[in-house]
Copies of this chain bind each other. A is one copy, B any other.
Amino acid sequence: MEILATDTEQLIKETAKRVFFAEGKLHATTQEIADAAGINRASIHYYFRSRQKLFDTVFIEATTEMRSKIQDIMEGGFSFRERTEKFIETFIEKSLKHPYLEMFIATEINTNPAIQLQLSKPSKEKENLKKLEDDIKNAVAEGRMKPITPHHFIISMMSLCSFPFLGRDIIKNAFSINDEEYKKLIAERKDVIIKLLFLDA
């Protein structure tokens, strides 16, 4: 009995994640989510009090996993190049699962002050940036990169990773390509990005 209760809560969360972040229906109503989950609309309020609470919950769950993976990579003792490659892999992998999560963050972060998106713990922010700056300097000295500020490096990397998902429909529309061709482009993406960021790739 008790397990069923948890099951329903889990079912609602998973359905919500799918509807919100996989299908891109960021403004789905509680009724739509209830229908998709095959449960009563009131159950959503029973478990989560409000639509917003449900949304916050699944949003945090969906981003936390990503953030901790990134943190593992950053602090895993990898080389600069390895770290970059793993970041790109992780980012693409996660985006394949929740293509619209990034989009939500981009859209709502300005209206919803509750959303905080730190790439690294605030305490380590300065430190991490400094480390990246050194890494870049070394790479430049070795002819593996052109000079670039840490901020621009991160922005460029995130740009190259994010946009293919953020702009999925723009791309499909602009190139008149189907799902299969789009997936092929995504699969090739990591190599393209690395080649753009590193001269010796």
Contact = CB atoms under 8 A, between A and B. Distances in A.
Nearest to A162: B163
Interface of A: 24-27, 102-103, 105-107, 109-111, 115-119, 122, 125, 146, 148, 151-152, 154-156, 158-160, 162-164, 166-171, 173-176, 185, 188-189, 192-193, 195-197, 199
A169 B103 contact: no
B152 A188 contact: yes
Q: Closest 3 A-B residue pairs measured CB to CB?
A: A159-B163, A109-B169, A110-B169
Nearest to A27: B27
A170 to B, nearest CB: 6
A116 B173 contact: yes
Secondary structure dominating the interface of A: helix
B167 A158 contact: yes
A123 B47 CA distance: 52
Given A103-B107, A118-B173, A158-B163, 4 more contacts: A116-B173, A151-B185, A154-B174, A155-B171
Contacts of A148: 192, 195
A155 B196 CA distance: 12
Contacts of A160: 156, 159-160
A170 B24 contact: no
A84 B176 CA distance: 22
A181 to B, nearest CB: 9
Contacts of A195: 146, 148
